[in-house]
Every structure is written in structure tokens, then in C-alpha cells.
Amino acid sequence: MLNPMNKNDLRLYFIYGSGNGNVQRSLDVIEQALQSGITLFQMREKGDGALAGKALKEFALTVKDMAALHDVPFIINDDVELAMAVQADGIHLGQDDMRPGALPDYFDNKIVGLSVRDGAELAASDLGNVDYIGTGPIFPTLSKDDAGEATGVSGLKSMRDKIGELPMVAIGGITENNYHECIENGADGIAVISAISEADDVPRTIRNFLE
């Protein structure tokens, strides 16, 4: 952690991909989200219609440039090689991805995030290289098939107690109606997919989150 992140960057973390084949709609949502004040963006490309190869790299470069225009750091999920190829601002790793300690030197001054669901995963994780953890799902989610059972805000609070000051973002089923419970229970911010990607009015939703 040569260059610790600013934990304010975690305040409203939007995670999205190319939108299951509807790339233009996805770019529109991401642009609106950037304009409306998200503080961090993660490109997470999964599921039906996921882009790969050259198309994925082009999409990543497009979104990276959009994010840079808004001074929003651009993080890539899982794909260490792609993150280096497009010079992303960071990488987010799950428990089944590369271990943070094994990351190439490129990431020494980049943002490194790690998903840690509970105390058992925390005990098994080497946080030496990690700038923030993401924990959840706090609430039930439809956006990740293998997310497992919701940990609730009690899980979040217990994670905060265990990790001390390390920046932490809550994820999973977070909406405009429940995000404050996450902040009250120790999260520095919230990470969302559907609350923004499926919002009827993206700017209004983001205003409500940032209130």
C-alpha cells in the first residue's frame, strides 16, 4: 500500500459492465452516473453477452477515458492483465482471484480492493497490499448468483470491528432507502450495481445517495 487511497473515494462506488449486449445504453448510464457524482467506478463484465478480447478492451478504454474526464478512478474487476493493458487506476479481487500479494508491481501505486465476506475470509486474507475491502452482500441481491446469504448490517459492523481503520465499502442490495444503515454500521461508503443501473432517474437516485 505505497499510495493509500482516499477513503472518500468509496462514498458512492458504481459497478457496471457493458450491459448484457446493450453497450450504448450502458455507456449512457455510466456517463450520467459520472456526471451526477459517483466517486469510484468499477468495470465488472460478467454473464450473458459479456464482451471479451478486443471488444472488451475497447469498451474498457472508452469508459476509462470517460471516468478520467470526471476525475473518477477507474477500477477493473478480476482481470489483472486487462487492468494493466488499459492502465486502470486499480483492480478489485475476489477470494478466488489472484492473491493481492501476488499482483505485479504495476499495482504498487494503484488502488487494490479485495472482497471479504466474513471473519473466516478475513482470517484467510493477506491484506498487506490491500487499499480497501468490499464486504457483503449486506442485503439480498439479484446481481450476483453466487453472492451467498446476506450478512446484514451486523456482519458489516463486525467486519469494521475486526479491520480497524482500513477503508471499507458495503455491497449487496443497497438502495436509497437502506444505505444510511451501512454508513451507521461502519462502512466508509457503498457499492451498487442495480440501484444505479436500473434507476428510472439516475441523477435523482445519485443525489439521494449523496445527500
CB 2 within 8 A of CB 108: yes
Binding mask 132-151 toward ligand TZP (x if CB under 6 A, else -) reads ----xx---x-xx--x----
Q: Is residue 94 a contact point for Mg ion (CB under 5 A)?
A: yes
Residue tagged active-site, from 44, 110, 117, 160: 44
| Amino acid, single-letter form, for residue 135 | T
State yes or no: is 207 an active-site residue.
no
Q: Is-cis flag, bond preceding 104, omega within 30?
A: no
Among 90, 100, 113, 172, binds ligand TZP (CB under 6 A): 172
- Residue 110 annotated as lining a ligand binding site: no
In the complex with ligand TZP, the residue whose CB is nearer, 133 or 193, is: 193
Residue tagged active-site, from 18, 26, 36, 115: 115
Could you list the residues known to form a binding site, using ranges: 42-46, 77-78, 97, 115, 141-144, 173, 193-194
In the complex, the residues that contact Mg ion under the rule CB under 5 A are: 78, 94, 97
In the complex, the residues that contact ligand TZP under the rule CB under 6 A are: 136-137, 141, 143-144, 147, 171-174, 192-195
